[in-house]
Structure 1
């Protein structure tokens, strides 16, 4: 894979331009974009910057963090608090994401654009009780978080912030290093560096480089 040096500012602008020019694969009025990466990668920050750039371009945006759709602790920790396979397979409530985020943006399912931005607070381990958000026609969903690819989510564009195994180990907090085998499994099973539409290598976050296949 050939990589090209890029600044975060240019990455944001070029990616926002590409999103603004997309047509949804299902022909619907909403676009769905993933910003995928390990917790050590700035997925939330890039999603925020993209949302601002898209709003300047006249597109309504809803930013959703996947951690707001983690399962309750009783299910996440069923096999212990530091089980990497459970983290990979069970923490993210994919059914809730389909029901509350993707189906409302599916014209074939009678989508209304009425999306739940989060369901569960993993810190308090309680339902968030957030109100539904209305994403107008022509709007863009930006879903950010870890391990988002490989679930058949209907993304119109996916961005993967990639860290080499050594960089990921170096930048992962000590208390979270038990998750590293999950990301090794993700690399083996999903191969996000090939599955994503846009890949950003950020072993040194001050000097990102990217691979952008032509649309």
Structure 2
């Protein structure tokens, strides 16, 4: 396990990604619980790799949701619904992972659903350079339907209780002033925080526990990033990883 300041740390997984060779675009999964920091990490890696001249395809599981009615068919707070019903894995493989994989034509689409409008995405098909790298963040990426379609697998690990606190901090910060009166704003913020905590404890954390019990994602990870301390993350490269020993 290694430790460094965040700016120093980001260069290390970026170098690890660059060390992996493939005859097709490299497909990198950045998995982890909600609010673990995986999206921020993925964005940071994209900046470093892009600055090195690498063609980066940036995509996320949030653009492969299924329509809202199906996503919540088991109930708004169902953990089983979160794990089993939320994402269109078949479409993810069909339009993105398989075209970029061995034998693929490299013509891909980065999204299938606009989550804001709950309508099909209009993202056009694009042809990737053969040496491009796909940086894909999201939840449940190392499940059986997807695990073999990644060329490098990163899991961002954070204690569940810390993800709850981060989610509440993020929700409060993004809420901003919601009324001309401070009392109304405080009431709205309190309600939003309560809703966030309920969602985490009823849906998101139990869904992660179900994921770990059935898919054992860290057993399949090449790199585990321990992101408890945002400014000083640590990482562990697994012996089975193609980058072990770098």
Q: Same fold by TM (over 0.5)?
A: yes
- If the length of structure 1 is used for normalisation, what is the TM-score? 0.88
2:110 pairs, out of 110, 114, 117, with 117
Contact 1:5 1:209 in 2 (8 A): yes
8 A contact 2:57–2:133 mirrored in 1: yes
1:126 Cα deviation after fit = 1.1
CA contact (8 A) 1:35 1:43 kept: yes
Please state how far the C-alpha of 1:147 moved relative to its aligned partner. Answer: 1.2
Unaligned runs of 5+ in 2: 168-195, 239-243
Tell me if structure 1 keeps the 8 A contact 2:65–2:87: yes
Picking from 202, 225, 233, the partner of 1:208 is 233
Between Structure 1 and Structure 2, the one with more helix by share is 2
1:42 aligns with 2:65: no
Aligned match of 1:138 in 131, 140, 151? 131
**Whole-Å separation in 2 of the counterparts to 1:169 and 1:187:** 18
In the alignment, which residue of structure 1 is the partner of 2:85? 90
Is 1:147 aligned to residue 170 of structure 2? Answer: no
Structure 1 residues 2-41: Cα deviation after superposition (integer angstroms, max 9, x where no partner): x3323322232111112112123xxx32100011112212
1:36-88 C-alpha deviation (Å, 9 max, x unpaired): 11221222221121112112222211010111001001211111122111111
Distance in 1 of aligned mates of 2:121 and 2:36: 25
Match of residue 14 from structure 2: 16
Any stretches of 5+ residues in structure 1 without a counterpart?
none
Counterpart residue number, 2:156: 161
Larger radius of gyration: 2
Say whether the 8 Å CA contact 2:6–2:230 is kept in structure 1: no
CA shift in 2, pair 1:106/1:4, >3 Å: closer
